[in-house]
């Protein structure tokens, strides 16, 4: 199914236009490789399994200028439904090329695929000062720095090319091949106005950017560089504000390290990625680590197991470890301004060498504020890690003592807003562990409180073991006596026997000795759910009448003593039973015998006498009053299905008209009547041989009442008729003729009607309306019409009338028999 | 010969319809489908011949442009009406539908007023006149009482089950139900008579077919 992008309606596959709104649809051309579902061309993902239909490849546009429609069909863009047409023209091509260039820039060249990623160099040319200040420090070791790999300049986008580390002049820090006519974002172009970045200007540029402009946090990504190149490390002013949790980890010495702009970055292990290689901690000698991520290990030192472990620890974690502290004992101290006492929480602390100076990340160092701007730091935990050892229960092991709040306050720096938001709330909103707040207990719950108990007092968490009852423990809590009802709920811990399983319970339970469940085990006793009081008397419903009570009593008796009656089995199929089949055959046989009796010779004489019909005589007189040459409009409003009955009426009336020399114009508003018209006209012409033009076939008269109105009101269609004869077996055509003839008013035609037996009783009111001269109904009326003319009906008509009489008697008898059966035994049979 | 062919075919189809005596079966269904299909096809052929072809044939080359445009309007409206079968273009057929419904309603309303309501009210009122005689007065009274009581049966306000009816209203409803029952019985009798007439004709046709078949077999066997 194809979904219309305009009205979201579903259309069949292969549709070109929407069936609801008419908008053009894109035909399905893409088959999902996963599930095989056909999807519209504009889909990027499969509608059924959501697999990607379009691979992540750059679609190279053909050299020849293709039609926009073809391009849009071949280049699939957009997302899943509703689809959007692909952009066309050169702008689209340039946009696409530009959008893919930055992707290409992320790809490494084959020549450098095997080179450690840590050897990536990031040029800093053309970068703003705040980024340039974040340039990484020079690593102490220079050998690894030379071995660092640089990203192919031709593949780096502009904004990444400017971030490549400082490289020697002999190294080509070529920028990605970005065409000069590429439209750069404004924010990037403005930055490159002062000093056009080498990457954006020419792709052949090989001069490395000034190392001084390397961002500090990015400088950590660079490999070990010569010391002279570390001058680009920006100095972190003391005005930069550090968060509490970082400043608490600093040693005394790191404060000096914050001022040194130079940082040493030891090269990262070869197996470490570039972004991690920059995380190598600075040497203890070179404390001014202004790189974004300090390295952990020093290649000049042989890595100890701890160092190896530390080397595996990310720098941002290692940097948080304070230097010069006892690695064996560290703890985390919560400092709270409200409580001067520090609450120590023991945590595992990795063992670090004391030699390793705490290296604050460069990006943090540069934001450290001046000492005079230190504000009381919020109470935040300081995390330390110990090498694989669980926290010791005893204090002093794995505990690190942090600075006093005062000292921390001194060292606190101005915290940026984004970091302040991450910090815990103010000291007023102390952790909930500091104090328990008594929640407001609702009244309904208060009512359920057992007697003898009261609301819990507002107390803080006890920091010591509770003492004896009534003894005030630390924090203002008083040990209370456990109520008896709570003690009763205490589980019995003395019993060590395990609870028996349900199967064991069944096996050990006694067997039933009597009843239908004899011999079974595990039968639960039938106990009442609710014990009724001995003197319980159910109160009758208020306002219940005696009838309701009697009905309720009857229901109760029935439920207590159900009737043992057989329920009738529902039949699997709906086939009629033998009774219905027999009755059906009996009725059919009787009717057939009654209908065939006259022709089989069962009746020596005719029995039926046509009943008197009030409209027969006036109709006969009306037709008798027509003169030769008059025109009679005959409306033959019945079809072959009713012809068996209406043909006798038509024959009688048409014969009368032909015998008077009346011209006949026959029409029909029923399509099936057109064939009958021709048949009767041929019969009349063959039998009476009238003058030419005396019999006119008016044909089909469409439009029902509209057509009749037009026909009667159009004098040019036919000669003005003198008499209107309607022969109808249906109610509609008769009503139309009667109504439209009455609408004519003074021009209304004298009307005669011949109806079938089924239409007569229903249209009887119309027969008394002004304009209807006479009428006859069914076979009896036809017989009466012949008799009114003084003509003996033919033998066939008489026999048919006898057969009708007999069948009517049989039908009446069967109806009476059925009524009698229903009155006597019908209710029982129906039940 | 055509009559004989029609007799044979009609008898066979009649027997297929009579096979319903043994239950619903494939032959009975096939006969019904034949009736519906033949009626529909014949009606379509008649409509095409007497409407489309005659209308197109009425356009003469010598006719003026105005006369040709006059013939073109119904053809155009009919073509637009055919678009009602296409959901996307069905809105264009609303013009023809509106024209048809408007004209039809105008003709039908005028005919109902002048041909049904007013004449029948006049006839009913004339029957109630004292001058018409006792039988006519009784006839008119019965017509009046029967009509009003039947309206009580079908009145929605009086058919609410939760509303307590007054005794006179209740009795009028019962009287109306009686008149309705009698009317339905009369209609049923007429339909039964018509059906029996058709049954008689069909059985006599089968009898003629059997006689024809007997003669044919006799001529074949030489007996």
Q: What is the pLDDT of residues A426-435, one digit of tens each?
A: 544 444 444 4
Q: Quick check: A804 and B120 CB within 8 A?
A: no
Percent of residues, chain A, with pLDDT higher than 70: 43
SS3 letters across A267-309:
CCCCCCCHHHHCCECCCCCCCCCCCCCCECCCCCCCCCHHHHH
- Look at residue A315 in the predicted model and tell me its pLDDT: 66
| Token pair listed for A731 | 């109610």
- HSE at residue B104, side-chain half, CA atoms within 13 A, is 9
Maximum Cα–Cα distance for chain B, whole Å?
82
Maximum Cα–Cα distance for chain A, whole Å?
146
Query: With contact defined as beta carbons under 8 Å apart, do A614 and A776 qualify?
Result: no
Exposed e or buried b per residue across B13-44, where buried means at least 16 C-beta atoms within 10 angstroms of its C-beta: bbebebbbeeeeeebbeebeeeeeeeeeebbe
Strand partners, A723: A632
Query: For residue B123, which residues of chain A lie inside 8 Å, CB to CB?
Result: 765, 768-769
What is the distance between the alpha carbons of residues B192 and A804, in angstroms, rounded to a whole number? 10
CA B168 to chain A, closest CA, distance in angstroms equals: 28
* pLDDT band, very low/low/confident/very high, at A676 (cuts 50, 70, 90): very high
Task: Look at residue A520 and tell me whether its pLDDT is greater than 80.
Answer: yes
- Answer with the residue of higher pLDDT: A266 or A213: A213
CA B103 to chain A, closest CA, distance in angstroms equals: 8
- Look at residue A433 in the predicted model and tell me its pLDDT: 46
Query: With contact defined as beta carbons under 8 Å apart, do A21 and A4 qualify?
Result: yes
Which 3 state secondary structure label does DSSP give A665?
strand
Q: Quick check: B87 and A800 CB within 8 A?
A: no
CA A447 to chain B, closest CA, distance in angstroms equals: 47
Q: Residue A384: name the closest of A484, A313, A296 by CA.
A: A313
- Look at residue A357 in the predicted model and tell me its pLDDT: 45
| Token pair listed for A363 | 């990006």
* pLDDT band, very low/low/confident/very high, at A563 (cuts 50, 70, 90): low
CA B119 to chain A, closest CA, distance in angstroms equals: 6
Q: Quick check: B194 and A757 CB within 8 A?
A: yes
Q: Quick check: A584 and B21 CB within 8 A?
A: yes
Q: Is B186 on the interface with A (CB under 8 A)?
A: yes
CA B197 to chain centre: 18
CA B200 to chain A, closest CA, distance in angstroms equals: 6
Task: Look at residue A8 and tell me whether its pLDDT is greater than 60.
Answer: yes
- Is the bond preceding A713 in cis, omega lying within 30 degrees of 0? no
Across A184-188, A705-709, A826-830, the highest mean pLDDT is recorded for A705-709
- Answer with the residue of higher pLDDT: B215 or A462: B215
Q: What is the dihedral of CA A427, A433, A435, A440, to 10 degrees?
A: 110
> Which range, of A27-36, A129-138, A141-150, A673-682, averages the lowest pLDDT?
A141-150
Instruction: Please report the sign of the dihedral spanned by the C-alpha atoms of residue A190, residue A195, residue A201, residue A205.
Output: negative
Q: Quick check: A778 and B195 CB within 8 A?
A: no
Task: Look at residue B57 and tell me whether its pLDDT is greater than 90.
Answer: no
Q: Is the pTM of this model over 0.90?
A: no
Report the residue of B20, B43, B200 to disrupt the A interface, i.e. the one with the largest count of A CBs within 10 Å.
B200
Instruction: Please report the sign of the dihedral spanned by the C-alpha atoms of residue A128, residue A134, residue A137, residue A142.
Output: negative
* pLDDT band, very low/low/confident/very high, at A540 (cuts 50, 70, 90): low
- Look at residue B31 in the predicted model and tell me its pLDDT: 93
CA A21 to chain B, closest CA, distance in angstroms equals: 6
Q: Is B193 on the interface with A (CB under 8 A)?
A: yes
Residue listed under structure tokens 């009517």: A808
Count of helices and strands (H, E) across chain B: 8, 0
Q: Is A707 on the interface with B (CB under 8 A)?
A: no
Residue listed under structure tokens 């046709």: B205
> Which range, of A246-250, A456-460, B119-123, averages the lowest pLDDT?
A456-460
Q: Is B185 on the interface with A (CB under 8 A)?
A: no
Across A315-324, A467-476, A817-826, B59-68, the highest mean pLDDT is recorded for A817-826
CA A153 to chain centre: 47
Q: What is the dihedral of CA B115, B121, B123, B126, to 10 degrees?
A: -150
* Among chain B residues, CA nearest to A732: B108
Q: Residue A772: name the closest of A618, A617, A612 by CA.
A: A618
- Look at residue A669 in the predicted model and tell me its pLDDT: 93
Q: What is the pLDDT of residues A724-748, one digit of tens each?
A: 999 999 999 999 999 898 888 778 8
Q: Quick check: B193 and A705 CB within 8 A?
A: no
- Look at residue A356 in the predicted model and tell me its pLDDT: 46
B103, B104, B203: residue with CB nearest A595: B203
Task: Look at residue A246 and tell me whether its pLDDT is greater than 60.
Answer: no
Q: Quick check: B104 and A576 CB within 8 A?
A: no
What is the distance between the alpha carbons of residues A278 and A266, in angstroms, rounded to a whole number? 8
Strand partners, A696: A665
Q: Is A584 on the interface with B (CB under 8 A)?
A: yes
* Among chain B residues, CA nearest to A585: B21
What is the distance between the alpha carbons of residues A157 and A167, in angstroms, rounded to a whole number? 18
A18, A757, A800: residue with CB nearest B193: A757
Task: Look at residue A254 and tell me whether its pLDDT is greater than 60.
Answer: no
Instruction: Please report the sign of the dihedral spanned by the C-alpha atoms of residue B32, residue B37, residue B38, residue B44.
Output: positive
Average pLDDT, chain A: 66
Helix H or strand E segment including A334: strand A331-334
- Look at residue A636 in the predicted model and tell me its pLDDT: 95
* Among chain A residues, CA nearest to B89: A22
Q: Is A603 on the interface with B (CB under 8 A)?
A: no
Q: Is A781 on the interface with B (CB under 8 A)?
A: no
A91-100, long-range: CB < 8 A, 24+ apart: A93/A61, A96/A58, A96/A59, A96/A61, A98/A182, A98/A183, A100/A58
Chain B stretch 134-173, residues whose beta carbon is closer than 8 A to a beta carbon of chain A: none
- Answer with the residue of higher pLDDT: A804 or B60: A804
Neighbours of A380 (CB within 10 A): 18
Neighbours of B102 (CB within 10 A): 10
Percent of residues, chain B, with pLDDT higher than 70: 95
> Which range, of A379-393, A442-456, A478-492, averages the lowest pLDDT?
A379-393
- Rama region for A467: left / alpha / beta (φ>0; ψ in -120 to 50; rest): beta
Q: What is the pLDDT of residues A591-633, one digit of tens each?
A: 999 998 888 777 767 777 777 888 899 999 999 999 888 999 9
Q: What is the pLDDT of residues A108-146, one digit of tens each?
A: 544 444 444 444 444 545 556 666 565 554 444 444 444
Query: With contact defined as beta carbons under 8 Å apart, do B31 and B16 qualify?
Result: yes
Helix H or strand E segment including A772: strand A772-777
Report the residue of B192, B196, B199 to disrupt the A interface, i.e. the one with the largest count of A CBs within 10 Å.
B196
Report the residue of A676, A724, A761 to disrupt the B interface, i.e. the one with the largest count of B CBs within 10 Å.
A761
Q: Residue A199: name the closest of A172, A178, A171, A221 by CA.
A: A178
Query: With contact defined as beta carbons under 8 Å apart, do B208 and A599 qualify?
Result: no
Query: With contact defined as beta carbons under 8 Å apart, do A34 and A53 qualify?
Result: no
Q: What is the pLDDT of residues A273-330, one digit of tens each?
A: 565 555 554 444 444 444 444 444 444 444 455 554 444 566 666 655 554 444 444 4
What is the distance between the alpha carbons of residues B112 and A113, in angstroms, rounded to a whole number? 95
Mean pLDDT of all residues in B207-211 = 89
Q: Is A808 on the interface with B (CB under 8 A)?
A: yes
Q: Quick check: A709 and B204 CB within 8 A?
A: no
Mean pLDDT of all residues in A804-817 = 92
- Look at residue A332 in the predicted model and tell me its pLDDT: 42
What is the distance between the alpha carbons of residues A220 and A280, in angstroms, rounded to a whole number? 8
- Look at residue B45 in the predicted model and tell me its pLDDT: 92
Helix H or strand E segment including B7: helix B2-18
A671, A738, A756: residue with CB nearest B194: A756
CA A769 to chain B, closest CA, distance in angstroms equals: 6
A584, A762, A765: residue with CB nearest B187: A762
Q: Is B125 on the interface with A (CB under 8 A)?
A: no
Query: With contact defined as beta carbons under 8 Å apart, do A17 and A23 qualify?
Result: yes
Q: Is A165 on the interface with B (CB under 8 A)?
A: no
Q: Is B2 on the interface with A (CB under 8 A)?
A: no
Count of helices and strands (H, E) across chain A: 30, 12
Residue listed under structure tokens 């019909």: A613
What is the distance between the alpha carbons of residues B105 and B113, in angstroms, rounded to a whole number? 12
Q: What is the dihedral of CA A152, A153, A159, A163, to 10 degrees?
A: 80
* pLDDT band, very low/low/confident/very high, at A771 (cuts 50, 70, 90): confident
Task: Look at residue A219 and tell me whether its pLDDT is greater than 80.
Answer: no
Q: What is the pLDDT of residues A328-386, one digit of tens each?
A: 444 444 444 444 444 444 444 444 444 444 556 666 666 555 444 444 444 444 444 44
Residue listed under structure tokens 């404390």: A287
- Answer with the residue of higher pLDDT: A66 or A498: A498
Helix H or strand E segment including A810: helix A795-821
Q: Is B60 on the interface with A (CB under 8 A)?
A: no
Strand partners, A635: A667, A726
* pLDDT band, very low/low/confident/very high, at A103 (cuts 50, 70, 90): low
Q: What is the pLDDT of residues A181-206, one digit of tens each?
A: 455 656 666 655 544 444 444 444 44
What is the distance between the alpha carbons of residues B193 and A75, in angstroms, rounded to a whole number? 77
Q: Is A75 on the interface with B (CB under 8 A)?
A: no
- Answer with the residue of higher pLDDT: A249 or B134: B134
Q: Quick check: B88 and A22 CB within 8 A?
A: yes
What is the distance between the alpha carbons of residues A369 and A373, in angstroms, rounded to a whole number? 6
Residue listed under structure tokens 């008083």: A478
Q: Quick check: B88 and A699 CB within 8 A?
A: no
What is the distance between the alpha carbons of residues A279 and A481, in angstroms, rounded to a whole number? 58
Strand partners, A344: A333
Task: Look at residue A716 and tell me whether its pLDDT is greater than 90.
Answer: no
- Answer with the residue of higher pLDDT: B167 or A459: B167
ipTM of the complex: 0.87
Backbone angles phi, psi at B38, to 5 degrees: -65, -40
Distances (CA, A) of A125 to A162, A209, A446: 6, 4, 72
Task: Look at residue B175 and tell me whether its pLDDT is greater than 80.
Answer: yes
- Look at residue A474 in the predicted model and tell me its pLDDT: 60
CA B189 to chain A, closest CA, distance in angstroms equals: 8
Q: Is A814 on the interface with B (CB under 8 A)?
A: no
Mean pLDDT of all residues in A753-779 = 88
CA B196 to chain A, closest CA, distance in angstroms equals: 7
């Amino acid at each position: 199914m194809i979904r219309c992008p305009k009205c979201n309606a579903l259309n069949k596959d292969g549709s070109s236009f929407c069936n609801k709104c008419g908008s053009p649809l894109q035909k399905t051309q893409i088959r999902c490789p996963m599930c095989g579902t056909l999807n519209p061309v504009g889909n990027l993902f499969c509608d059924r399994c959501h697999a990607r239909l379009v691979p992540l490849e750059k679609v190279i546009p053909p050299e020849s200028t293709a039609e926009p429609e073809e391009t849009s069909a071949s280049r699939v863009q957009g997302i899943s439904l509703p689809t959007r047409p692909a952009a066309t023209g050169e702008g689209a091509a340039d946009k696409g090329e530009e959008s893919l260039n930055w992707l290409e820039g992320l790809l490494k060249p084959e020549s450098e695929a095997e080179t450690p990623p840590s050897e990536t160099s990031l040029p800093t040319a053309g970068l703003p000062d705040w980024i340039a200040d974040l340039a990484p420090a020079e690593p102490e070791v220079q050998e690894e720095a030379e071995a660092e790999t640089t990203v192919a300049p031709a593949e780096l986008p502009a904004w990444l090319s400017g971030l490549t580390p400082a490289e020697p002049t002999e190294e080509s820090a070529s920028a990605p091949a970005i065409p000069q006519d590429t439209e750069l974002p404004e924010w990037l172009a403005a930055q490159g106005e002062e000093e056009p970045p080498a990457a954006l200007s020419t792709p052949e540029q090989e001069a490395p950017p000034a190392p001084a402009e390397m961002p500090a946090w990015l400088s950590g990504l660079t490999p070990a560089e010569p010391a002279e190149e570390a001058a680009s490390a920006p100095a972190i002013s003391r005005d930069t504000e550090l968060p509490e949790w970082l400043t608490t980890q600093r040693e005394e010495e790191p404060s000096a390290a914050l001022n040194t702009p130079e940082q040493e970055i030891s090269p990262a292990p070869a197996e470490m990625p570039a972004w991690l290689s920059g995380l190598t901690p600075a040497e203890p000698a070179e404390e001014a680590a202004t790189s974004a991520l300090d390295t952990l290990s020093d290649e000049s030192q042989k890595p100890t197991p701890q160092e190896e472990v530390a080397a595996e620890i990310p720098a941002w974690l290692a940097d948080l470890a304070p230097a010069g502290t006892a690695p064996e004992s560290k703890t985390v101290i919560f400092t709270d301004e409200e409580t001067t006492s520090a609450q120590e929480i023991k945590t595992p602390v990795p063992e670090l060498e004391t030699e390793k100076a705490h290296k604050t990340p460069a990006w943090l160092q540069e934001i450290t504020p001046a000492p005079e701007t230190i504000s009381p730091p919020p109470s935040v935990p300081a995390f330390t890690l110990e090498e694989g050892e669980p926290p010791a229960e005893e204090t002093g092991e794995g505990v690190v003592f942090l600075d006093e709040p005062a000292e921390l306050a001194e060292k606190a720096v101005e915290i940026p807003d984004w970091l302040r938001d991450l910090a815990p709330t103010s000291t007023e909103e102390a952790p909930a562990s500091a104090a328990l707040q008594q929640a407001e207990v609702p009244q309904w719950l208060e009512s359920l409180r057992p007697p003898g108990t009261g609301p819990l007092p507002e107390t803080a968490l006890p920091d010591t073991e509770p003492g004896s009852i009534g003894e005030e423990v630390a924090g203002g809590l008083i040990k209370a006596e456990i109520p008896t009802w709570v003690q009763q709920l205490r589980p019995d811990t003395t019993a060590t026997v395990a609870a028996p399983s349900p199967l064991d319970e069944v096996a050990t339970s006694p067997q039933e000795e009597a009843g239908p469940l004899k011999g079974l085990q595990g039968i639960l006793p039938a106990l009442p759910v609710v014990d009724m009081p001995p003197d319980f008397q159910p109160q009758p419903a208020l306002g219940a009448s005696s009838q309701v009570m009697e009905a309720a009593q009857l229901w109760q008796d029935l439920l207590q003593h159900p009737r043992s009656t057989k329920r009738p089995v529902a039949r699997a199929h709906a086939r009629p039973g033998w009774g219905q089949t027999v009755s059906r055959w009996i009725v059919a046989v009787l009717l057939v015998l009654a209908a065939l009796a006259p022709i089989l010779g069962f009746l020596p004489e005719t029995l039926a006498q046509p009943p008197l019909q009030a409209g027969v005589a006036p109709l006969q007189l009306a037709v008798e009053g027509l003169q030769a040459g008059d025109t009679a409009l005959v409306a033959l409003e019945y079809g072959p299905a009713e012809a068996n009955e209406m043909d006798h009426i038509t024959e009688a009336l048409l014969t009368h008209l032909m015998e008077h020399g009346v011209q006949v114009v026959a029409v029909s508003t029923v399509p099936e009547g057109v064939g009958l018209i021709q048949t009767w006209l041929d019969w009349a012409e063959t039998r009476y041989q009238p003058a030419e033009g005396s019999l006119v076939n008016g044909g089909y008269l469409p439009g029902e009442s509209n057509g009749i109105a037009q026909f009667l009101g159009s004098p040019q269609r036919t000669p003005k008729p003198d008499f209107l004869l309607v022969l109808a077996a249906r109610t509609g055509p008769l009503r139309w003729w009667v109504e439209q003839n009455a609408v004519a008013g003074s021009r209304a035609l004298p009307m005669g009607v011949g109806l079938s037996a089924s239409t007569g009783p229903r249209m009887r009111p119309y027969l008394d309306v002004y304009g209807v001269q006479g009428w006859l109904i069914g076979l009896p009326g036809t017989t009466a019409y012949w008799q009114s003319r003084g003509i003996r009906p033919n033998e066939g008509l008489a026999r048919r009338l006898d057969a009708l009489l007999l069948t009517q008697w049989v039908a009446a008898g069967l109806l009476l028999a059925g009524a009698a059966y229903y009155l006597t035994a019908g209710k029982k049979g129906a039940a | 010969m055509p009559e004989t062919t029609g007799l044979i075919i009609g008898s066979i189809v009649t027997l297929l319809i009579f096979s319903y005596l043994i239950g619903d079966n494939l032959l009975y269904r096939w006969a019904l489908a034949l009736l519906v299909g033949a009626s529909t096809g014949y009606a379509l052929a008649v409509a095409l011949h007497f409407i489309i072809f005659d209308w197109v044939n009425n356009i003469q080359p010598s006719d003026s442009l105005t006369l040709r445009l006059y013939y073109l309007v119904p053809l155009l409206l009919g073509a637009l009406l055919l678009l009602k079968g296409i959901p996307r273009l069905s809105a264009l057929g609303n013009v023809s539908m509106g024209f048809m419904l408007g004209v039809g309603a105008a003709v039908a309303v005028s005919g109902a007023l002048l041909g049904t309501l007013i004449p029948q009210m006049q006839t009913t009122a004339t029957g109630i006149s004292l001058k018409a005689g006792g039988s006519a007065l009784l006839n008119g009274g019965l017509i009046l009482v029967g009509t009003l009581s039947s309206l009580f049966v079908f009145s929605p306000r009086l058919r609410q089950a939760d509303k307590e009816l007054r005794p006179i209203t209740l009795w009028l409803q019962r009287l109306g139900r009686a008149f309705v029952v009698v009317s339905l019985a009369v209609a049923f009798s007429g339909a039964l008579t018509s059906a029996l007439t058709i049954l008689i004709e069909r059985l006599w046709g089968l009898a003629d077919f059997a006689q024809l078949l007997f003669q044919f077999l006799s001529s074949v066997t030489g007996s």
